[in-house]
């Protein structure tokens, strides 16, 4: 059975795999050098007798076993380039840095297991470790299982798994335990006396005592750490667990920094564009999470303020998401009620670590799925996220004036960023944004700013259309959004659940809970001949249900899980759906679901929209 993947986070691929006759292995997994009596179901790692200069190992589970046999070479110790060595049935020992050409050749031989022979030396070097993992994966793809021998300690397991290491062994921890170390999955090394005095652990080793108590405890600590890591991966919270472990050992923070810096695009590509639950962003490291980096980057690369917006209103974010539903934001809205030309007002929230969030993007993940500790102190990177976005909005928008409904002390760092040529009004004297005086000042300032502009020619709905086009630009890129929004175009629906139609047929829907458009066949047809997020399907396979990996001929590398993708067959539109895997994994893996197909194209007629009802109501043309 080839590898199947049902959970992706960071470079981690959770699912099942096979090593020879060892089938149905749940990965990531622990290889136990010395499983104790309660190690039922564990994978054992054994050293077998071998001639001088050769190492023989066996990974066994139940009655089945998978053997490795390879020459022991100096690079295992020195970390120098050692290349690739066959180690038995579909297994290879790799020493980084390796010859990329040779590694690509190895890819065709479909290895099941790669052991990074000098993983320990690379780890000691720091940045070399994530770099080696990246080169390995880029040359050999995601299908082979990756084992990094003698690197894992219980508290390191979350980070190793986040980096895409599938197999970790207990060797290093058992050696340390033999030297008297008490390994704690949360704190790293801990004084054995303190742990004993408090009866910290109730594993068999700790409660039974004996000469090998610390080693038995180490085995239990590894198992606990692996269970915790798998649980976090299953819950989509592996990154949080990685961050939670950083204080156990400084090298983890270093390694995450190198990973975010050097593997950032790879991590971002693996991160879904959709979100289902609120996540906490507590540490400085949280600010570098891929979904936050992506939101900030797409705002600058893809987004422009709707052209009819002539007054920029900056407000503080709210703890409640989306912001517009919060008490403070509802009070701002009430204070402005009835003002003429309000559709020209562009409400933009200032927040950390996301930067700036224009009102029409409040549902785009992760804008409605983050929670932060509020301190009123802005670190330099937090300020940079805001000022970078503000510079972009000011340079690409058509604002004539700015109203800053912000605490003038806390947000003093924005003063210099507002150009002298724009009329800028600060409406607050302190941090009370919803006092009667504050709301009156807000109304007066906005009214004064809106006065010279006059109404938008197409009315408020024309502005809604502009706003929706910006959501599409952030999602699909600007050229595709422009094609989707070519007239004729009608809006049907209500605020925060919009349907785009061409007057007869639905083109796309936007629900606030998802924050991104779903395309229909007619909508995707507007994106031809060169649609974004396209997948070429095998023309010999009938597209009757969902699309599985073997049916994917090629997939755009820009596809992220959750993306609305366009299925093509020989260049013709075949269907639309939602990506389950990132584009590159659709061709790197050989097994598993690739796309949940929502609509299939038929020769003459398109399938009806199955979600949100049919579009019998004809919305206004805008
Ligand atoms: Zn214990």
Where is pLDDT greater, at 257 or 105? 257
Per-residue pLDDT, averaged over 270-287, amounts to 92
DSSP for 17-80 reads EEETTEEEEEESEEEESS--TT-TTPEEEEEE---TTEEEEEEEETTEEEEEEEE--THHHH--
* DSSP symbol at 211: T
Output the CA 471–ligand 1 centroid distance in Å: 52
Q: How far is CA 389 from the centre of its chain?
A: 21
- The b-or-e profile of 302-322 (16+ CB within 10 A means b, else e) is bbbbbebbbbbbbbbbbeebb
- Structural contact between residues 414 and 402, judged by C-beta atoms closer than 8 angstroms: no
Output the CA 45–ligand 1 centroid distance in Å: 21
Q: What is the reported pLDDT for 29?
A: 97
Output the CA 207–ligand 1 centroid distance in Å: 7
Output the CA 37–ligand 1 centroid distance in Å: 14
Q: What is the reported pLDDT for 543?
A: 85
529 preceded by a cis bond (ω within 30 of 0): yes
Output the CA 36–ligand 1 centroid distance in Å: 12
Q: What is the reported pLDDT for 1?
A: 56
The CB density around residue 106, as the number of other CB atoms within 10 Å, is 20
Output the CA 204–ligand 1 centroid distance in Å: 7
**Beta pairing class for 91-95 and 83-86:** antiparallel
Report the number of secondary-structure helices (H) and strands (E) in the chain.
Answer: 20, 31
Output the CA 188–ligand 1 centroid distance in Å: 13
Output the CA 230–ligand 1 centroid distance in Å: 20
Output the CA 183–ligand 1 centroid distance in Å: 9
Q: What is the reported pLDDT for 230?
A: 97
Among 152, 134, 170, smallest CA distance to 259 is for: 134
Q: How far apart are CA 182 and CA 192, in angstroms?
A: 5
Output the CA 202–ligand 1 centroid distance in Å: 5
Element (H, E) at 182: strand 182-184
Sign of the dihedral defined by the CA atoms of residues 248, 252, 256, 258, in that order: positive
Q: Is the pLDDT of residue 504 over 70?
A: yes
Binning pLDDT at 50, 70 and 90, where does residue 108 land? confident
Output the CA 192–ligand 1 centroid distance in Å: 10
Which whole-number Å values give the CA distances from 142 to 4, 9, 82, 535, in the listed order? 11, 13, 22, 19
Output the CA 540–ligand 1 centroid distance in Å: 57
Q: How far apart are CA 439 and CA 332, in angstroms?
A: 7
The C-alpha angle with vertex 227 and arms to 222 and 231, in degrees rounded to 5, equals: 150
Q: How far apart are CA 383 and CA 584, in angstroms?
A: 34
Output the CA 264–ligand 1 centroid distance in Å: 37
In three state form, how does the secondary structure of 549-616 look? HHHEEEECCCCCCCCEEEEEECCEEEEEEEECCCHHHHHHCCCCEEEEEEEEECCCCECCCCCCCCCC
Mean of all residue pLDDT scores within the chain: 92
Q: How far apart are CA 323 and CA 359, in angstroms?
A: 8
Per-residue pLDDT, averaged over 228-253, amounts to 96
Sign of the dihedral defined by the CA atoms of residues 32, 38, 42, 48, in that order: positive
Output the CA 117–ligand 1 centroid distance in Å: 30
Q: What is the reported pLDDT for 180?
A: 96
Least confident range of 329-333, 480-484, 609-613: 609-613
Sign of the dihedral defined by the CA atoms of residues 294, 296, 300, 304, in that order: positive
Output the CA 317–ligand 1 centroid distance in Å: 45
The CB density around residue 161, as the number of other CB atoms within 10 Å, is 31
- Structural contact between residues 579 and 595, judged by C-beta atoms closer than 8 angstroms: yes
Q: What is the reported pLDDT for 38?
A: 56
Q: Is the pLDDT of residue 611 over 60?
A: no
Output the CA 184–ligand 1 centroid distance in Å: 9
Output the CA 195–ligand 1 centroid distance in Å: 9
Which whole-number Å values give the CA distances from 438 to 374, 442, 449, 451, in the listed order? 21, 6, 16, 20
DSSP for 265-285 reads HHHHHHS-S---S-EE--SGG
Binning pLDDT at 50, 70 and 90, where does residue 77 land? very low
The 3-state DSSP class for residue 10 equals: coil
Q: How far apart are CA 235 and CA 32, in angstroms?
A: 25
The CB density around residue 261, as the number of other CB atoms within 10 Å, is 11
Output the CA 4–ligand 1 centroid distance in Å: 34
Instruction: Note the pLDDT tens digit of each residue in 421-480.
Output: 899 999 999 999 999 999 999 999 999 999 988 889 989 999 999 999 999 999 999 999
Output the CA 171–ligand 1 centroid distance in Å: 17
Q: What is the reported pLDDT for 98?
A: 84
Output the CA 248–ligand 1 centroid distance in Å: 18
Q: Is the pLDDT of residue 100 over 90?
A: no
Per-residue pLDDT, averaged over 78-93, amounts to 77
Six-digit token pair at 186? 């949360």
User: Among the residues of 245-379, which ranges form H helices?
Assistant: 250-262, 264-270, 290-302, 327-336
Q: Is the pLDDT of residue 604 over 70?
A: no
Binning pLDDT at 50, 70 and 90, where does residue 34 land? confident
Q: Is the pLDDT of residue 178 over 60?
A: yes
In three state form, how does the secondary structure of 490-532 look? EEEEECCEEEEECCCCEEEEEECCCCCEEECHHHHHCCCCCCC
Residues 6+ away with beta carbon under 8 Å from 343: 308, 455, 456, 459, 460, 463
Least confident range of 357-361, 440-444, 491-495: 491-495
Per-residue pLDDT, averaged over 351-357, amounts to 95
Instruction: Note the pLDDT tens digit of each residue in 510-546.
Output: 999 999 999 999 999 999 999 999 999 999 988 889 9
Output the CA 240–ligand 1 centroid distance in Å: 25
Output the CA 249–ligand 1 centroid distance in Å: 20
Per-residue pLDDT, averaged over 83-109, amounts to 88
* DSSP symbol at 397: S
Output the CA 217–ligand 1 centroid distance in Å: 4
Element (H, E) at 463: helix 460-476
Residue whose token pair is 């983050």: 370
Among 553, 549, 605, 543, smallest CA distance to 575 is for: 543
Output the CA 220–ligand 1 centroid distance in Å: 6
Q: Is the pLDDT of residue 199 over 60?
A: yes
Q: What is the largest CA-CA distance in the chain?
A: 89
Per-residue pLDDT, averaged over 383-394, amounts to 97
Binning pLDDT at 50, 70 and 90, where does residue 135 land? very high
Six-digit token pair at 239? 């990154």
Per-residue pLDDT, averaged over 98-104, amounts to 82
Output the CA 221–ligand 1 centroid distance in Å: 7
């Amino acid at each position: 059975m080839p590898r199947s993947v049902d959970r992706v986070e960071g470079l981690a691929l959770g699912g099942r795999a096979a090593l020879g006759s060892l089938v149905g292995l749940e990965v990531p997994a622990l290889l136990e050098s010395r499983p104790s009596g309660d190690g039922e179901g564990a994978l054992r790692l054994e050293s077998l007798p071998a001639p001088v200069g050769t190492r023989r190992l066996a990974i066994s589970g139940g009655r089945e076993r998978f053997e490795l046999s390879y020459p022991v070479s100096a690079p295992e110790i020195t970390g120098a380039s050692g290349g690739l060595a066959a180690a038995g049935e579909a297994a290879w020992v790799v020493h980084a840095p390796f010859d990329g050409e040779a590694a690509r050749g190895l890819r065709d031989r479909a290895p099941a297991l790669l052991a990074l022979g000098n993983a320990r030396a690379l780890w000691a070097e720091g940045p070399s470790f994530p770099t080696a993992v990246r080169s390995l994966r880029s040359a050999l793809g995601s299908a082979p299982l990756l084992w990094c021998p003698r690197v894992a300690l219980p508290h390191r397991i979350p980070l190793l798994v986040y980096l895409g290491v599938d197999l970790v062994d207990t060797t290093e921890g058992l050696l340390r335990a033999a030297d008297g170390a008490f390994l704690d999955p949360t704190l790293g090394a801990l004084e054995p006396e303190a742990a004993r005095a408090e009866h910290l652990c109730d594993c068999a080793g700790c409660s039974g005592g004996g000469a090998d108590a610390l080693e038995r405890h180490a085995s239990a600590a590894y198992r606990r750490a692996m269970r915790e890591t798998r649980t976090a991966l299953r819950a989509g919270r592996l990154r949080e667990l990685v961050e939670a472990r950083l204080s156990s050992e400084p090298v983890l923070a270093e390694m995450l920094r190198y990973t975010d810096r050097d593997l950032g695009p790879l991590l971002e590509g693996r991160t879904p564009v959709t979100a289902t639950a609120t996540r906490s962003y507590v540490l400085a490291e949280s600010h570098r999470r891929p979904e936050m980096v992506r939101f900030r980057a797409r705002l600058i690369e893809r987004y422009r303020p709707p052209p009819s917006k002539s007054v920029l209103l900056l407000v503080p974010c709210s703890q409640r998401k989306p912001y517009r539903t919060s008490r403070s934001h509802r009070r701002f809205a009430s204070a402005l009620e009835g003002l003429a030309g309000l559709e020209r007002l562009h409400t933009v929230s200032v927040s950390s670590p996301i930067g700036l969030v224009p009102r029409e993007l409040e549902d785009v993940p992760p804008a409605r799925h983050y929670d932060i500790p509020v301190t009123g102190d802005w670190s330099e990177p937090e300020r940079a996220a805001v000022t970078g976005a503000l510079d972009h909005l000011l340079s690409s928008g058509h604002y004539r004036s700015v109203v800053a409904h912000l605490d003038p002390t806390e947000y003093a760092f924005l003063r210099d960023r507002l150009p002298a040529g724009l009329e800028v009004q600060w409406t607050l004297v302190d941090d009370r944004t919803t006092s009667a005086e504050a709301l009156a000042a807000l109304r007066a300032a906005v009214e004064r700013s809106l006065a010279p502009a006059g109404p938008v020619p197409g009315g408020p709905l024309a502005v809604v259309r502009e706003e929706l086009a910006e959501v599409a630009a952030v999602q699909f890129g600007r050229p595709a959004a422009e094609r989707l929004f070519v007239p004729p175009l009608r809006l049907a629906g209500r605020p925060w659940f919009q349907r785009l139609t061409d007057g007869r047929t639905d083109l796309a829907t936007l629900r606030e809970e998802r924050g991104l458009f779903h395309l229909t066949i007619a909508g995707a047809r507007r994106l031809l001949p060169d649609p974004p997020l396209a997948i070429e399907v095998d023309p010999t396979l009938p597209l009757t249900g969902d699309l599985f990996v073997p049916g994917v001929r090629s997939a755009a590398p820009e596809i992220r899980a959750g993306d609305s993708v366009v299925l093509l067959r020989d260049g013709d539109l075949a269907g639309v759906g939602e990506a389950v895997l990132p584009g590159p994994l659709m061709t790197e893996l050989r097994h598993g679901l690739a796309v949940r197909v929502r609509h299939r194209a038929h020769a003459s007629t398109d399938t009806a929209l199955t979600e949100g009802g049919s579009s019998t109501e004809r919305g206004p043309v805008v």
